[in-house]
């Protein structure tokens, strides 16, 4: 069920991803981190960051510990939608959860600033990477 849900998530088909996760639940399977991350990614690809965040919250409510991938997916969803503040909030939640942000946590924020033609914002996010002792990759510099 996870594999099929993930396949739909990768093409941004949130409805079918959720449908397959529901089928798994109906078959008696417990949703795991992979299941939730598939749903988060599907919502993000469809341009629904609030739905992506709600899946992360449901994940926590169901006592499934979100990993870096789940948080990065929500951060990416908000950044792609242009909501820098919400993306930043999830970056902070990630750190509060004792998870270490990585380059994939920051690149969507740098890209958002670049799309907005906000070089000072992009610079701020590059500097924030240094706070986590992260070296920006070529992707971060060319976002």
pLDDT at 143: 54
CA distance 65 to 2: 17
Are 101 and 91 spatial neighbours (Cβ–Cβ below 8 Å)?
A: yes
CA distance 93 to 74: 11
pLDDT at 94: 96
| Residue 50: both structure tokens together | 């609030």
pLDDT at 74: 97
Are 40 and 56 spatial neighbours (Cβ–Cβ below 8 Å)?
A: yes
User: What's CA 60's distance to the chain center, in Å?
Assistant: 14
User: What's CA 44's distance to the chain center, in Å?
Assistant: 7
pLDDT at 139: 57
| Residue 142: both structure tokens together | 């060319």
The rounded average pLDDT for each run of 10 residues, N- to C-terminus, in the chain (143 residues) is: 82 83 88 88 88 92 94 96 97 95 93 95 92 73 55
């Amino acid at each position: 069920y996870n594999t099929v849900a993930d396949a739909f998530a990768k093409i941004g088909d949130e409805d079918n991803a959720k449908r397959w996760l529901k089928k798994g639940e109906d078959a008696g399977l417990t949703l795991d981190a992979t299941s939730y991350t598939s749903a988060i990614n599907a919502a993000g690809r469809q341009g629904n960051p609030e739905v992506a965040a709600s899946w992360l919250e449901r994940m926590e409510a169901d006592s499934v510990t979100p990993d870096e991938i789940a948080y990065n997916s929500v951060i990416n969803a908000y950044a792609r939608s242009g909501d820098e503040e919400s993306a930043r909030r999830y970056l902070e939640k990630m750190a509060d959860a004792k998870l270490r942000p990585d380059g994939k946590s920051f690149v969507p924020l740098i890209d958002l600033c670049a799309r907005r033609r906000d070089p000072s914002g992009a610079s701020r996010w590059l500097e924030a990477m240094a706070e986590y002792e992260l070296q920006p990759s070529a992707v971060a510099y060319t976002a």
